[in-house]
Amino acid sequence: MHLSPNNMKKLPLLFVVMVMVAVSLGFLMWKFHPASVIPVGMVGWLASGAVVGSSEMHASDLFIEEYPKSRIRIVFVDDEWKSELTPTVIQQAMKNGVRFFITAHPSRCTLASIQLFADSRALQITTGSAAPALTGKDDFLLRIIPDAVQEQRAIARYVSQLPGKRILVLQDTGNPPYTDPAFATFSAELGNLGEWDIVHRKLLVLAFNPNEYRSIMAENYDVLYILAGTYQSSIGNIAQLFHYLHPDMPIVLTPWARSSAILETAGEAIDHIILPSHYPSRHQDPALNSYFRRFSARFGYEAHGMTVGVRQALELLDQAFAKGYDTPETVKQYLLSIPTHQTSLGPVSFDKYGDLASGKFFFLQNLRQELK
């Protein structure tokens, strides 16, 4: 094809126009095309029923329904709360492209897999592991609940104000990375606050047999403290037996017993239970009450307390992704660079290590109302 001199002069101008059109189209496609989704692994015991497992799955579903434009795509990762299984299932998820995780399992599972979050390969936000062994580490694990040291000091301070001087502490052996340092902190703090006679007994709460502990629990006590977590319904059975033997004595639980299944199992003991909580009463916090009501209306049962942390973690990741941070390193930098993050269920503040900067505790007593 022969080009005349005039046509040749027009070529640079035509080329410039074509480039400008291409750039404009590219900008418009970038602006209006939805950003790519980001898989987020939800790690927990997915087959364990309404107490745990299904609550985390449904909390994730509710978030996606209420935030339909979120870039988050939930990938459920079932570790059955078995510490020997946790690293395997997380590694498999990482091989499948998951680089962000929210965990809702006990401390023993987090400690078993902590090496997977030592660097920027993946980032984890944990909602249920309070072991002090996780505190103060410069890794890619962030925690939105206080550690056991903060928790147990707060509980000891509360117990020290109760009438009496003899307390029975029943410590669960099912999750020693949490309960061992928790008891050490609690007993030391309570000892510093007054002269209490602490009667300490260990038991596997999951296998609680009333006949084995009836004689021990029948002795004279002013308070029972059930140092156990993981939302085990048998905590309610222990409380019920103590109440039968000591009808007027208070029963203190841990924050990891904020579950309707436990409170309903406790029977009449519910009126004497004191429940430490990371969150206020739902009837004193409209946002929290609205969340629990929406959850119950959508799924037909009451969510347990850890789903609040799951919702906050999802919102934190969603906020980071919406701002364009989509790697573990940039998300961590973003979350640690802001003094306080706002979520629909309350503020979250991290320290320089990604631990919760300050944990406030609420001691709930009117627990029949909490179930409504």
Q: How confident is the model over 217-254, as pLDDT tens digits?
A: 999 999 999 999 888 999 999 999 999 999 999 999 99
Helix, strand or coil for residue 286?
Answer: helix
- Per-residue pLDDT, 18: 47
C-alpha distances in Å from residue 153, one per residue of 157, 214, 218, 273, 316:
6, 29, 27, 19, 28
- Joined together, the tokens standing for residue 191 give 């000892």
CA distance 270 to 262: 9
- Joined together, the tokens standing for residue 299 give 């799924």
Q: Is pLDDT above 90 for 93? A: yes
Torsional class of 210: left (φ above 0), alpha (ψ -120 to 50), beta (otherwise) = alpha
- Per-residue pLDDT, 359: 75
CA distance 246 to 222: 9
Structure pTM? Answer: 0.88
Helix, strand or coil for residue 145?
Answer: coil
The Cβ of residue 18 has, within 10 Å, a number of other Cβ atoms equal to 10
pLDDT by residue (tens digit) across 51-76? 677 899 999 999 999 999 999 999 99
What 8-state DSSP symbol labels residue 350? B
Tell me the CB-side half-sphere exposure of residue 215, using CA atoms within 13 A: 1
Structural domains in the chain, CATH included, are: 38-146+286-359 (3.40.50.2300), 149-277 (3.40.50.2300)
pLDDT by residue (tens digit) across 300-354? 988 989 999 999 999 999 999 999 999 999 999 999 999 999 999 999 999 999 9
β-sheet with 197-203: strand ranges across:
197-203, 166-172, 223-227, 251-252, 273-277, 362-364
- Check: CB of residue 251 under 8 Å from CB of residue 274: yes
- Check: CB of residue 116 under 8 Å from CB of residue 94: yes
Mean pLDDT, the chain, rounded, equals: 90
- Check: CB of residue 349 under 8 Å from CB of residue 367: no
The DSSP secondary structure of 73-102, one letter per residue, reads EEEEEE-TT-TTTHHHHHHHHHHTT--EEE
